[in-house]
Every structure is written in structure tokens, then in C-alpha cells.
Amino acid sequence: MSAALVITGILVLMLLRVPVAFAILGPTLLYMVVTDQSTGLSLRTAAQEVNSFPLLAVPLFILLGVVANHTGIADRIFAFAQVLFGRVRASLGYVNIGVSVGFSWISGTALADVAGMGKMIVPAMTSRGYPRRFALGLTASSSLVSPVMPPSIPAIIYASVAAVSTAALFAAAVVPALLIAGGLALYVFVWSRKQPQLAGRRSQPGEFRTAAVRVIGPLGAPVLLLGGILSGLFTPTEAAAVGVAYILALGFCYRRLTLRSLWSITVETATTAASITLILAASGLLGWVLARERVPQDIASFLLGFTDSPVVFLLMVSVALILVGTVLEPVAALVITVPVLLPIAVQFGVDPVHFGVLTIVNLMLGLLTPPLGGVLFVLGSATRTPMHEVFRGTAPFLIPLLAVLVLLTLVPDLVLFLPRHLGL
């Protein structure tokens, strides 16, 4: 009953638009007072949640994405993808997906991807005759590649909360991210069969060479980051620091960064990192409360009495996580749900790394659905389009995304093959 009141209080505060961290802190601190727990215990529990070396990578990867947005790297990837796919029918659809894949190796979040791409790709597609809803839906959906493909901020947070290897989780997410991109590309292919007016065009002489030269620098970032992490040369935290130094060097070489612009970049990074850290600290305290009230054990007993099938369990969890993702910011959703659900998943024999990838994909799907739908809001703001119009464009793309999710659920080896092959 106490845990139910705490969770109800959190949900009510969130519905009242109280910031997530404070919505969690209020009811949990009230619980600590009512149950005669010390203030010192509350502070220690919250502090321990963020006292983690892997979490040092979070502000660094945020900085990496912010700097990449300021240096025009997305423009270079877009130009290269345009030349690469230019002769294919509905080429800008594939370009849209390709740019998201390329930028995902740097940004790590869906909101950064859609904010950077929305203003550029949606007008380009509509000016070439693509339906506006199609352009909006594809741009929103392809942005989900970023939080799945490493380096992924949600993956770092899951690894910290679940105490699993960040490198293993990064490796496990590569194939799912590519499957998401492939599923969207298949949808574009099928849709374009009835769009003869969207014929491709030949590139001009020398255009490919120019675009390829301009994209060499940005494409060096994923080689440095992923190659260093998966080979064991860097930890994810060290790779993030190296990546920031590399992108900063590119920015100054391209003359897109100045010492004055570094201040605004620093402020944006610090603001985002601080909000995530506060949510993590508050959620650590909530996790302690739920553990004390034996909520994970009660849920496990219910589910084990309901089914003994890991697949049925994962499908039930998927539905629940998508619903959670529609009303909760992904970071908060991760740190609230993982301590409760992961022990149950382990009892069902689910690998923690497999469960982590599924959890991230599920919560990211919530970003595409009302009532909150963070990606919908950001894209609508960037393109000055009402949220309901963005969702109507996005809804058809949920079909391939859900199909990929079911495939990843039913075939765990798609997730676990690469980390096992690399010995992670």
C-alpha cells in the first residue's frame, strides 16, 4: 500500500507538469519521513546512484552530440548520402535513414537527431514532391536509430543501473539498430513502388568525389569510438573523451567553432547532464523504497504464477514499457523500471544484455506516441507542425518498428551474437 501511494503521488505530480526529478523526490522523501528513515540515509542512497564511473560517459557523449550539431557534420553526411542514393527512386527516403544512421554514431539521443535533422530533411523532401506526412513520419521514426546504436546514452544508463558491461551492451545494440534502419528502408521501398514521380537523378561529374572527401572527417568519429570500445582499447568513458576531442578538432578545422561558441555549447551540455543526473539520483532513492516494500518480489510472484514462458513475459513487458515510455522521459523510465523488472527477467532466464536492448527499444517507441511523445514535440517545433499532424505521419512507420521489436524478442541471438563473438 505504501509503495502504491508513492507511485500514485509521482504520477499525479508528473501530470501536473512538475519536473520529473522533483516529482520523484517529493513522494519518496515523504515516505522516508513517515517511515522514520534518516535524512543521511536518503542522501547516501541518492548519491550512491550517481557515484559510478560509467556514468562519467553521459556528459561527455552529450557534449559530443552538441558539438556535432554545431559543426555542421549532419550537413556533410546528408550531402554524401544524397549523392550515394541519388539514382534510386524515392532516394531522399533512403537518405533520411542513412543520415540518421551516420549521425547516430555521434549523437546518442533521438531528440538530438530529430532536432538536427528535422529542419534540414523535411523541407528538402517536401520540395522534391514527397508528401509532408511521409517526410515527418520517416524523420521521426529514423531518429530512433540514435538511442539504440552505440554510443547510446540510454545504454550507458541501463548498464550502470543493471550492473552489466557497457561495451557488451554497445555491441549487442549494433544489429538491432541496423535492423531498425533496414525495416524503415523496406517500408520506403514498398511505399515508393506506387510513386513513379519520385524518380532518382544522376549525380554530376565530380559530385561524389567532393561529397566523399567532405565526409571523411565525420566518418572517422564512429571508427574511433566504436573501434576503440569494441576492441578494448578504450572504455566507453575514455572513448567519449577521445571522441569529444576529435569532434572539437574537426569543428575548428571546418571553422564552424569559435571560442565564443564553446560557452553556449558548455551551458547546453551542463544543463542536460545536470537534469539527467538529478533524475538518476532521485530514481535511486525510489528504487530503495520499492525494494524495501518488496515490489519486485510481488510482481515476480504474480508473473511467475501467470506464465512460465520467457517469450510471453517479454511480450507483456514490451506492452508495459511502451505505455510507460508514452508518459515518462526515457532516462527516468529506465532507472525506475529496470530495478523492478530486471530481477524478474533473470528468473525467467532472460539474458540481462538482451533485456537491456529490448527495454531501450521499447521505451524509444514511446517517444513516437502521444500524449507526451518527445520526438513528436521536438519535430513539430523544428518544422512548425502540430503534434497531431506529426503523429498521423509517424503512425504507419510503427508497423516496421514493431515488427523489428517482435523479431528481437523471438530471436535473442540477433542481439547476443556480436558481444559473444567479441568475447564481451
User: What does the domain layout of the chain look like in residue ranges?
Assistant: 2-421
List the grid coordinates of 298.
510481488
Locate 269 and state its grid cell.
551540455
Verify cis geometry, omega within 30 degrees of 0, for the bond prior to 396: no
Residue owning grid cell 551516420: 102
Rounded Cα gap, residues 75 and 120, in angstroms: 8
**Helix/strand/coil for 236:** helix
Q: Is it the case that residue 276 has pLDDT exceeding 80?
A: no
Q: Which residues contact 97 (CB under 8 A, 6 or more apart)?
A: 138, 142, 145, 181, 184, 185, 188
Residue 330, C-alpha cell as written in the block: 526515457
Does residue 112 surpass a pLDDT of 80? no
What's the whole-number average pLDDT of the chain? 82
Strands of 267-340 (E only): list them. Answer: none
Residue 118, all three cell numbers: 528535422
**CA–CA dist 361, 180 (Å, integer):** 10
Q: How confident is the model at residue 185 (pLDDT cuts 50, 70, 90)?
A: very high
In contact, 276 and 331? CB cutoff 8 Å: yes
In this structure, are residues 106 and 73 in contact, taking their beta carbons and an 8 Å threshold? Answer: yes
Residue 189: pLDDT over 80: yes
The model's pTM is: 0.81
Model pLDDT, residue 72: 74
The residue with greater pLDDT, 40 or 412, is: 412
Question: If you average pLDDT over residues 177-204, what whole number do you get?
Answer: 83
User: What distance in Å separates the CA atoms of residue 418 and residue 96, rounded to the nearest whole number?
Assistant: 26
- Rounded to the nearest 10 degrees, the angle between the axes of helix 57-70 and helix 153-162 is 180
- Is a pLDDT exceeding 70 seen at residue 371? no
Report the b/e string of 317-355 with b at 16+ CB within 10 A: bbeebbebbbbbbbbbbbbbbbbbbbbbbeebebbbbbb
Q: Average the pLDDT over 68-75 and give the result.
A: 75
pLDDT digits (tens, 9 = 90+) for 342-358: 888 888 889 999 999 99
In angstroms, what CA-CA distances link 188 with 135, 200, 328, 347? 11, 14, 30, 40
pLDDT number for residue 90: 76
Average pLDDT for 94-113: 78
Question: What SS3 class is residue 102?
Answer: helix
CB atoms within 10 A of CB 118: 24
pLDDT digits over 19-57, tens only? 777 888 888 888 888 888 877 787 887 777 777 766 777
**More confident position, 129 or 52:** 129
* Overall average pLDDT of the 181-204 stretch: 81
C-alpha to C-alpha distance for 295 and 277, rounded to whole angstroms: 24
Gap between the Cα atoms of 276 and 251, Å rounded: 26
Model confidence band, residue 412 (pLDDT cutoffs 50, 70, 90): very high
Judged by average pLDDT, the poorest of 62-71, 81-90, 294-303, 354-363 is 294-303
Q: Is the dihedral of CA 326, 332, 334, 337 positive or negative?
A: negative
Q: In this predicted structure, what is the pLDDT of residue 352?
A: 93
Task: Give the integer Cα–Cα distance in Å for 56 and 48.
Answer: 14
Q: Alpha-carbon distance 309 to 8, whole Å?
A: 30
Retrieve residue 371's grid coordinates.
500524449
Q: How far apart are CA 133 and CA 395, in angstroms?
A: 10
Nearest to 122 by CA among 104, 107, 134: 134
* pLDDT recorded at residue 1: 58
Report whether 367 contacts 375 (CB < 8 A). yes
Kindly give, in sequence order, each residue whose CB lies less than 8 Å from that of residue 202, ignoring residues fewer than 6 positions away: 86, 87
Say what the pLDDT of residue 296 is: 66
Task: Look at residues 84, 180, 102 and name the one whose alpha carbon lies nearest to residue 141.
Answer: 180
